[in-house]
């Protein structure tokens, strides 16, 4: 089977989607449930309808685009990603997995291949945490990691609830209906830019993702005593910022001492009150991101951070409290899906290597309901979430070809289980180079 990707069409579509933005090009801003998000969704559905695919949407706006196979009694195979974008982002993050998934289906149809299982392309709602402070809302709901109470609990910076935002933009219904059963999909594979420098640095076309880190996010609030910068002498101070600074160093040290380079900790927010040069800080709020491929090791580091906070609070005679946002489990890829991706790379003659996904993705949660793996392609300089984010069409096309062959292989696996090896041999002939 020869996979032919229309690179010119795919490049045009990536550019066209990037033009639907709230930011000045080349920056892309598409926050979920905004006008630009709705325009982008409508544009995507038009492309999929033109390709002869069926479309449905659930109560939170996850969009399912299906190429119907003859075996509707079998769980389908799925691919997909997201098209929402953080403020002033680039045009490839998520989009390569959605438009690349559409192009993979087009390429398979053009080749004459017929899947046994149906193949679905999913456009997930709100992979980015921009609006509601938590990422992967659509896939979390699909996997049951978030429940229906998220409708009222999740609020945007404008204080609008998830329920109000989704129903105002046309996505109605019971949020409980979004959840999919375990085994709903026979397999899930996501194409994505690496968002790191390894593949480009090593000159490798495809990264085969074996693990996705489990992130934990939490706020730490330090409550001290404010006062005039000249009026309060040093021995009498309970400076919240000094305590926070000490804790930040302890957070770094705890991650470094974990015994693994897979443990990473970041303090990305330091909000100081009252924020005046001649006033002693009375309150500091830190935003902490802690990630690891090993959930137990990550949690040990988190407890070390909490213990350091307790010690600092006692020594400096102030209060330190923690508010957890999320603590998600790491995800491991399916050996079956990894094997299919590896075979696809070999058939396309593309160099590949095993790699860890250090940003989390919708695949992290799809792993709870289906065998999962990811396909990475290089991005220039490892840069992402910036207007200069870039992936070459050569690498995108290579990723789409590998994705197409992987979907084709996974869509025929059920034949081994249901109708015997003779039939699978005939189907596998379609997959030969």
pLDDT mean over 334-339: 96
Same fold yes or no, 7-213+330-429 and 215-327: no
Give the model confidence (pLDDT) of 68-93 as tens digits: 999 989 999 999 999 999 999 999 99
Q: Return the CATH number of the domain spanning residue range 215-327.
A: 3.30.70.360
pTM of the complete model:
0.90
Homologous superfamily of 7-213+330-429: Zn peptidases (3.40.630.10)
pLDDT band at 414 (very low <50, low <70, confident <90, very high): low
At 413, the pLDDT band (50, 70, 90 cuts) reads low
Residue 404 contacts by C-beta under 8 Å, 6 or more apart in sequence?
A: 3, 5, 104, 105, 107, 108, 344
List, for residues 112-162, the tens digit of each pLDDT value: 999 999 999 999 999 999 999 899 999 999 999 999 999 999 999 889 999
Q: Is the pLDDT of residue 371 over 70?
A: yes
Is residue 379 scored above 70 in pLDDT? Answer: yes
Domain ranges in the chain? 7-213+330-429, 215-327
Average pLDDT of the residues in 164-185: 96
The answer to whether residue 427 scores a pLDDT higher than 70 is no
Please compute the mean of the pLDDT values over residues 268-291 and round it to a whole number. Answer: 97
As a whole number, mean pLDDT of residues 186-208 equals 98
Give the pLDDT score at 388. Answer: 98
Question: Mean per-residue pLDDT for 59-71?
Answer: 97
Least confident interval from 139-148, 377-386, 419-428: 419-428
């Amino acid at each position: 089977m020869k996979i032919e990707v229309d690179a010119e069409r795919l490049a045009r579509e990536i550019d066209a989607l990037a033009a639907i933005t709230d930011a000045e090009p080349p920056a892309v801003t598409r926050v979920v449930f905004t006008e630009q998000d709705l325009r982008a969704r409508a544009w995507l559905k038009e492309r999929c309808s033109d390709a002869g695919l069926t479309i449905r949407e659930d109560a939170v706006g996850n969009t399912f685009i299906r190429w119907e196979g003859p075996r509707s009694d079998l769980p389908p195979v799925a691919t997909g990603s997201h098209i929402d974008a953080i403020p002033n982002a680039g045009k490839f993050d998520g989009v390569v997995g959605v438009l690349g998934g559409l192009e993979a289906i087009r390429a398979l149809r053009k080749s004459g291949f017929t899947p046994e299982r149906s193949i679905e392309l999913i456009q997930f709602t709100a992979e980015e945490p921009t609006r509601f402070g938590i990422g992967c809302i659509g896939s979390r709901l699909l996997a049951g990691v978030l429940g229906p109470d998220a409708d009222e609990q999740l609020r945007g910076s404008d204080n609008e609830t998830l329920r109000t935002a989704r129903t105002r933009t046309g996505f109605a219904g019971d949020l409980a209906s979004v959840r999919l059963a375990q085994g709903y999909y026979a397999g899930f594979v996501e194409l994505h830019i690496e968002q790191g420098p390894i593949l480009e640095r090593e000159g490798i076309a495809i990264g085969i993702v074996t693990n996705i880190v489990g992130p934990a996010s939490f706020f730490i609030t330090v409550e001290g005593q404010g006062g005039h910068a000249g009026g309060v002498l040093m021995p009498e101070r309970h400076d919240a910022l000094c305590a926070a600074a000490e804790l930040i160093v302890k957070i770094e040290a705890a991650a470094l001492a974990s015994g693994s380079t897979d443990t990473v900790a970041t303090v990305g927010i330091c909000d100081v009150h009252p924020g005046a040069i001649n006033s002693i800080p009375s309150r500091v709020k830190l935003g902490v991101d802690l990630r690891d491929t090993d959930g137990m090791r990550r949690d040990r580091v988190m407890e070390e951070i909490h213990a350091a906070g307790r010690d600092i609070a006692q020594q400096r005679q102030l209060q330190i409290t923690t508010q957890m946002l999320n603590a998600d489990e790491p995800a491991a890829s399916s050996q079956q899906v990894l094997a299919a991706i590896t075979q696809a790379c070999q058939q396309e003659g593309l160099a590949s290597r095993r790699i860890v996904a250090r940003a989390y993705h919708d695949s992290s949660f799809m792993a709870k309901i289906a065998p999962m793996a990811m396909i990475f392609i290089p991005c220039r300089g490892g840069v992402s979430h910036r207007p200069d984010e870039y992936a070459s069409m050569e690498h995108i096309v290579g990723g789409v070809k590998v994705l197409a062959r992987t979907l084709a292989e996974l869509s025929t696996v059920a034949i081994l289980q249901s109708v015997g090896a003779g039939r699978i041999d005939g189907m596998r002939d379609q997959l030969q180079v």
